Amino acid sequence: MKTMEFLKSVTSKKALETINAFPVAPEKETVGIEDALNRVLAGDIVAHEDIPPFSRSLVDGYAVLVKDIQGAKETNPSLLTVTGQVRVGEASETMVEDGNSVMISTGAMLPDSADGVVMEEHVRRLKDEIEVTKPVHRGENICFRGEDIKEGDHVLNVGIKISPFDLGILAALGISNINVFKRTRIAIISSGDEVVDINETPPPGRIRDINRYTVSNILKKEGAQCDFLGITRDAIPDITASFEAAREYDMILVSGGSSKGERDLVVEVIKALGGEILFHGINIKPGKPAIFGKLWGKPVFGLPGHPVSCIMVTIRYVLPLLKRLKGETRTGEITVRGTLSTNIPSSYGIEEYVRVAIRNTGDGCFITPIFAKSSVISSLSQASGYIIAPEGVEGYEKGEEVEAYLF
């Protein structure tokens, strides 16, 4: 390989096709409901009972037959006899008959035959009778049995990331142990003679390790287990040892060492260990020198050393594979549309990722580009997301409507 050989880049589309074609087989495990948040469901959840299991009142008031209070108003109230009371936690053993009502608490079981509940605010109590000053329609202030979930309903589907609201459904159904896919274990390696630990004061020519923290936390936020295996120097024995230490992980990420220079040896080590390079270089900016390969049947990414390049490749190319590795089926990104506040130039023939700030006002959503080099980490801290200038576009003009991807 010649020194500084030009990258034979693939298109962004081809890179994603290659990554999405990588075979995955996520394993399953059972966890308690307390540990299920943000895990990925490994099987459909089918309701084995109705929720709620009985019809219940949504307010404090009186259970009635709706037909008995049609036309009720302040000046001409409907008069009903109170024949009982149902409190929360009690089984209702009473029935509402013509001309009668039953006092009921919020959440209490609805008496048989009652088809409406009048709020206390619309009732005047007269010892054993009530005057109803406002009618209700059938089902008003009632949650009927099975109205939330019916027995046999598919309530949660395999492949979803379990949310706090999903946990509420599982709790309602009495499901305390949940089948989920195992967390993806990712080995993270920092590469380069110039990289030092963040607790060190870098001597001239060296820099602190940024990528370890940004990349690992992007992936942790998506539910991965990330282990940092250290900073490896630009020497084949050191890089080889780092890869060997990562052998049992589900994915290996190396930041730095992806450019085709005389001291960038990641590709050589992957091949020497019996791996395969699936592509080296993507026709994008920033992030062009990214590597994707296979080693011991596991996916391997070589991420660019510049922080912004490293992060953008992680977001655009590593995250889709991570979602598949952990069994997730919802892989779409969150986007917003807005108006550009200034021109955005881009290079024709290269897919560019432009960091942007997004501002919502009474006049609409406005998107402002943040122009900075790929080594300027502060530009990401200031950004809300990014827009994509495709290969066949020479930028965008002020006032155009564009789509922004949120970080």
Per residue in 121-168, pLDDT (tens digit) is 999 999 999 999 999 999 999 999 999 999 999 999 999 999 999 999
Asked if residue 190 and residue 318 are part of one domain, the reply reads yes
Q: How many CB atoms lie within 10 A of CB 333?
A: 12
Total domain count, the chain: 4
Cα–Cα distance, 330 to 160 (Å, whole number): 7
Asked if residue 174 and residue 37 are part of one domain, the reply reads yes
Question: Of the residues 89, 122, 143, which one is the last residue of a structural domain?
Answer: 143
pLDDT tens, position by position, 190-206: 999 999 999 999 999 99
Cα–Cα distance, 229 to 173 (Å, whole number): 42
Tabulate helix, strand, coil % of the chain (nearest 5).
Answer: 20, 35, 45
Contacts of residue 130, Cβ cutoff 8 Å, sequence gap at least 6: 62, 79, 80, 82, 101, 123, 124
pLDDT tens, position by position, 18-53: 999 999 999 999 999 999 999 999 999 999 999 999
Amino acid (one-letter) located at 87: R
4 within domain boundaries: no
Asked if residue 229 and residue 167 are part of one domain, the reply reads no
Using pLDDT thresholds of 50, 70 and 90, give the confidence band for residue 377.
confident
pLDDT of residue 260: 53
Bridge partners (DSSP) listed for residue 125 = 130
Q: Are 270 and 242 in contact (CB under 8 A)?
A: no
- Calculate the alpha carbon distances from 305 to 11, 243, 258, 259 in Å: 20, 18, 8, 9
Question: Of the residues 271, 290, 325, which one is the last residue of a structural domain?
Answer: 325
pLDDT tens, position by position, 212-257: 999 999 999 999 999 999 999 999 999 999 999 999 999 999 998 6
Amino acid (one-letter) located at 227: D
Asked if residue 177 and residue 40 are part of one domain, the reply reads yes
123 within domain boundaries: yes
Confidence (pTM): 0.85
Is pLDDT above 90 for 313? yes
What CATH number has the domain bearing residue 164? 3.90.105.10
Asked if residue 192 and residue 100 are part of one domain, the reply reads no
Asked if residue 239 and residue 156 are part of one domain, the reply reads no
Asked if residue 187 and residue 99 are part of one domain, the reply reads no
What CATH number has the domain bearing residue 210? 3.40.980.10
1 within domain boundaries: no
Asked if residue 387 and residue 354 are part of one domain, the reply reads yes
Length of the chain: 407
Asked if residue 132 and residue 69 are part of one domain, the reply reads yes
> 217 is written with which tokens?
């936390």
Cα–Cα distance, 111 to 102 (Å, whole number): 8
Asked if residue 47 and residue 127 are part of one domain, the reply reads no
- Calculate the alpha carbon distances from 343 to 286, 340, 392, 402 in Å: 19, 7, 17, 12
What is the residue-averaged pLDDT of the chain? 93
> Which single residue is written with the structure tokens 């994603």?
16
Q: Are 50 and 195 in contact (CB under 8 A)?
A: no
Amino acid (one-letter) located at 174: G
Cα–Cα distance, 302 to 282 (Å, whole number): 12
Is pLDDT above 80 for 119? yes
Asked if residue 177 and residue 34 are part of one domain, the reply reads yes
Asked if residue 211 and residue 320 are part of one domain, the reply reads yes
Cis preceding linkage at 52, omega within 30: yes
Question: Of the residues 271, 292, 325, which one is the last residue of a structural domain?
Answer: 325
Residue 185's Cβ-side half-sphere holds a number of Cα atoms within 13 Å equal to: 10
35 within domain boundaries: yes
Range of the domain at 44: 28-51+152-181
Cα–Cα distance, 102 to 128 (Å, whole number): 11
